[in-house]
Structure 1
Amino acid sequence: MSTKEYALFEVTPEIEQFAKICEEKNAIDKDLYGKYEVKRGLRDLNGKGVLAGLTNISDVCATKVVDGKEVPCAGNLYYRGYNIKDLVRGFLDADHYGFEEITYLLLFGDLPSEQELATFHQTLAERRTLPPTFVRDVIMKAPSRDMMNSLSRSILSLYSYDAKADDTSIPNVLRQCLNLISQFPMMMVYGYHAYNYRMGDDLFIYAPSPELSTAENILMMLREDRKYTKLEARILDMALVLHMDHGGGNNSTFTTHVVTSSGTDTYSTIAAAMASLKGPKHGGANIKVTQMFEDMKEKLHDWEDRDEVRDYLLKLLNKEAFDRKGLIYGMGHAIYSVSDPRADIFKDFVKKLAKEKGYEKEYALYEMVEHMAPEVIAEKRKIYKGVNANVDFYSGLVYSMLGIPSALYTPIFAAARIVGWSAHRLEELINVDKIIRPAYKPLAPYRDYVRMEDR
């Protein structure tokens, strides 16, 4: 690589200077947001979002009305009107995998009959294939160390193989969505193996099995020996179900609505949602939680010493520990203020899995931080609503115990959330024919043009 080419990937002194100018000229007085009643993040101080649309797909409930007043309550998540706790309990009691059943529910609005589920399972299985030479020509070429970027490129590349890529009729979009839901685990696992191969590891690419569930196929394709336990597959399956959807206003799903409203194709829409989910404030949060705990375990002398754990949490908030961002990752949620139902469901299984895998000490540390963090945060900052553990708090630990590499934590989130994105894209196309365009208030004063020689 030449010196000139290398400079493209370095922040040069000139770029540093331009950046200072950029920061100075783009800074906006924070008081003006209050003056003009701007809802930063499209949320008020209590975290309630600005109403931007209607949806039948899912509902996030964190409050109830008591004596005419809205007060916080234990959180609930509903898929098509069904409580997520009931859905999970239902497929666990019936001893079958939930991903395919709940995918059917989110896409088509009702729980499937036994025959409908069998037909749908077969439909997904038949679509677990990639175009000829796709693995060689797309996935194996220039593999990325970041699997979300690799997946986004693969999704966009599928556009070139689809003769009806720009057809936004409902049957065609549904076809594309079912294809992507089925193909996503393959692109995810193959992309991971391709990068490791480039780094010197052995390469193994296994075709998915039509008899296996989505969760089973992920574990089978990921592991060189293709082996997994029933408990491992059940827990991964449950994780996929818990991450499938979370209302229309979460960042990546809102991105899906915004991009769909422009009239663009399915591949561009899902790639845009992927870009949103990658962010550490959204789907990338579970990696941050895991990294935070690794740093914590390294710094603590005694994981069971409450005072030492408390001191570390204070250092996090004071920007003196880990990434110095002032955050305790996995704590707090934009909507839930008492509890995140997904975290509640996860926690029961985390404890069982920790016992089986010999992770009791790690689980005890997580549980201590979960109980202690809200108190520490309340002491240091003004809180407008409660702080509780969110689903990302425990999901990283679950994936770690399952032996899933951290590079795939967010992609697994995406493998589930692509179902919700698909349902919301279809809902937007069916119900709204208007491009989303919110308002921004301009603050810059009008100025007369100044000729070069007079500047």
Structure 2
Amino acid sequence: MPSNHNTETDFVHFFWTQVDLEKTAALAFVFLLDCMVVLLILNPFIWWSDSQNATNFLVAARNASASTTNLKDVLADLIPKEQTRIKNFKQQYGKTNIGQISVDMIYGGMRGMKGLVYETSVLDPDEGIRFRGYSIPECQGLLPKAPGGEEPLPEGLFWLLVTGQVPTEEQVTWVSKEWAKRAALPSHVVTMLDNFPTNLHPMSQFSAAITALNSESSFARAYSEGVHKSKYWEFAYEDSMDLIAKLPCIAAKIYRNLYREGSSIGAIDSNLDWSHNFSNMLGYSDAQFTELMRLYLTIHSDHEGGNVSAHTSHLVGSALSDPYLSFSAAMNGLAGPLHGLANQEVLVWLTALQKELGGEVSDEKMRDYIWNTLKSGRVVPGYGHAVLRKTDPRYTCQREFALKHLPSDPMFKMVAQLYKIVPNVLLEQGKAKNPWPNVDAHSGVLLQYYGMSEMNYYTVLFGVSRALGVLAQLVWSRALGFPLERPKSMSTDGLMTLVGAKSG
């Protein structure tokens, strides 16, 4: 027998060459069933706590592909299948009409027009946002959590948005470590942030820094070198992963420069998750604040493709601008008062209400204040939504967080009181299609409770979160070869001619 003979290797070789493979597979299946039975006996909560938990357990087991923790490898397997599926669909149904366009839609900001493919999330008027088919409560139950934590990790949501699969804890840990590894900022971006004047809005600083990161773009470099378009997605993926990793560093640097006398953001800890590192860099060590960040960054991540920030990133990306330029443009849209600044406006309105009426406010006085707001031609900020026709699930999960962690906070009690009164007033007024609160009605109050009172900064947090959704979609847009977006515009005279109207 040769001296380098490996008896263990020989045994394995003998086993698989001598034993009937079908019998072996059957034995392995029985063994796995036995293991599941033991697990269920030891953990009855998994199986018996309620039917939803049982369903979630099975869904997670079915959808979590544990074969690899490398997200890019998973994508490389998924993309050809999705390309084929869409190609076949277009061949069969490409000429099918899916709706009509009215003059009101054209003048109404294209609201309700079906004109954009967006894979990562869908906004249902009655059910709210669904991330790859999963509601927010389902994501809260299914997505992995930090040790000892109760809220889902944004890394898990990103994996879900990119792949459509619920990730394992190992896959989420891989994403956390990957982002920690990619987080360092180039020196020229740090210098630029340090030299911005303090009166420059945080969102302007955020957008400018993201644009400056374009110097690091793998996509731009590969395109200039003539890479084949079938490889575009790979470089869009690399840029997106790098950008998401760096955003907390940019955001924290802006926060420290503006509100903490330029103190250091510290170092990234590769053993911590993305939200935990972000909280530390901001200077918040409260474990509950970190949990709030995990929830906040998860629920603000995506809201289908028609909102301003998502659509902007899609539009700019369609010109083959790299992910840095595309996302920077999206942030300029998010900075608008009708989009990302809304939670700031809610807090301003609540503060004015509290100042005028005092701490404890009767329902009748609050009702009068709401009516005075409406009669003055203003709206009640945080209420109503362009698409939703029910209470925003993102509001609901934040309310549940507040009920658990800050039930006696005066500002939260005011928000809860408004929730009881405002919808009935708006229904009585008769103008609102949706009298229910949206996500902005609650988020500012939670941030303020934990000491983040700098309202001008809130939209930056929103922007860090929104990267998860729009960049996941941008990778798929390049993988599926979506073309330059170029809708047809018309003048009013041309539109009148089209519909046969008489001018004047």
Q: Assess same fold via TM > 0.5.
A: yes
Q: RMSD between aligned alpha carbons? A: 2.4
Task: For residue 59 of structure 1, give the secondary structure of its aligned residue in structure 2.
Answer: strand
Residues 35, 271 of structure 1: alpha-carbon distance in 2 compared, 3 angstrom cutoff: closer
Q: How much does 1:167 deviate?
A: 3.8
Matched residue, 1:293:
350
Structure 2: runs of 5 or more not aligned: 1-100, 224-231, 495-504
Q: How much does 1:444 deviate?
A: 5.9
Equivalent residue pairs, number = 381
Residues 172, 163 of structure 1: alpha-carbon distance in 2 compared, 3 angstrom cutoff: closer
Does residue 1:42 correspond to 2:110, yes or no? yes
Does residue 1:205 correspond to 2:260, yes or no? no
Contact 1:107–1:419 (8 Å) recurs in 2? no
Instruction: Tell me the distance in 1 between the aligned counterparts of 2:104 and 2:286.
Output: 57
Contact 1:285–1:330 (8 Å) recurs in 2? yes
Matched residue, 1:194:
257
Does residue 1:77 correspond to 2:116, yes or no? no
Task: For residue 367 of structure 1, give the secondary structure of its aligned residue in structure 2.
Answer: helix
> Which of 369, 378, 398 does residue 427 from structure 2 map onto?
378
Does residue 1:326 correspond to 2:378, yes or no? yes
Counterpart mapping for 1:31-430 below 5 A:
38-43=106-111, 49-63=112-126, 75-90=127-142, 91=144, 95-96=148-149, 97-135=152-190, 137-144=191-198, 145-162=200-217, 165=220, 167=222, 169-196=232-259, 201=261, 203-223=263-283, 228-301=285-358, 303-319=360-376, 326-355=378-407, 359=409, 361-383=410-432, 385-404=433-452, 405-430=454-479
Q: How much does 1:367 deviate?
A: 1.2
Task: For residue 140 of structure 1, give the secondary structure of its aligned residue in structure 2.
Answer: helix
Instruction: Tell me the distance in 1 between the aligned counterparts of 2:208 and 2:246.
Output: 14
Return the letter of the residue paired with 1:177: S
Contact 1:316–1:326 (8 Å) recurs in 2? yes
Return the letter of the residue paired with 2:440: D
Contact 2:176–2:272 (8 Å) recurs in 1? no
Contact 1:143–1:195 (8 Å) recurs in 2? no
Q: Which has the higher helix share?
A: 2
Task: For residue 41 of structure 1, give the secondary structure of its aligned residue in structure 2.
Answer: coil
Instruction: Tell me the distance in 1 between the aligned counterparts of 2:306 and 2:470.
Output: 11
Q: What per-residue deviation string (whole Å, max 9, x for no partner) do you get for residues 335-384 of structure 1?
A: 111221111111111122223xx51x22221111122112222333433x
Q: How much does 1:407 deviate?
A: 2.8
Instruction: Tell me the distance in 1 between the aligned counterparts of 2:490 and 2:219.
Output: 39
Moved more, 95-104 or 267-276: 95-104
Residues 166, 290 of structure 1: alpha-carbon distance in 2 compared, 3 angstrom cutoff: farther
Instruction: Tell me the distance in 2 between the aligned counterparts of 1:276 and 1:228.
Output: 31
Residues 247, 34 of structure 1: alpha-carbon distance in 2 compared, 3 angstrom cutoff: closer
Instruction: Tell me the distance in 2 between the aligned counterparts of 1:240 and 1:128.
Output: 17
Matched residue, 1:22:
none
Which has the larger Rg?
2
Contact 2:367–2:421 (8 Å) recurs in 1? yes
Q: How much does 1:165 deviate?
A: 2.9
TM-score under structure 1 length normalisation: 0.78
Q: How much does 1:246 deviate?
A: 1.1
Identity %: 25
Structure 1: runs of 5 or more not aligned: 1-32, 44-48, 64-74, 320-324, 446-455
Task: For residue 77 of structure 1, give the secondary structure of its aligned residue in structure 2.
Answer: strand
Task: For residue 42 of structure 1, give the secondary structure of its aligned residue in structure 2.
Answer: coil
Residues 350, 37 of structure 1: alpha-carbon distance in 2 compared, 3 angstrom cutoff: closer
Q: How much does 1:127 deviate?
A: 0.7
TM-score under structure 2 length normalisation: 0.71
Return the letter of the residue paired with 1:388: W
Q: How much does 1:205 deviate?
A: 3.1
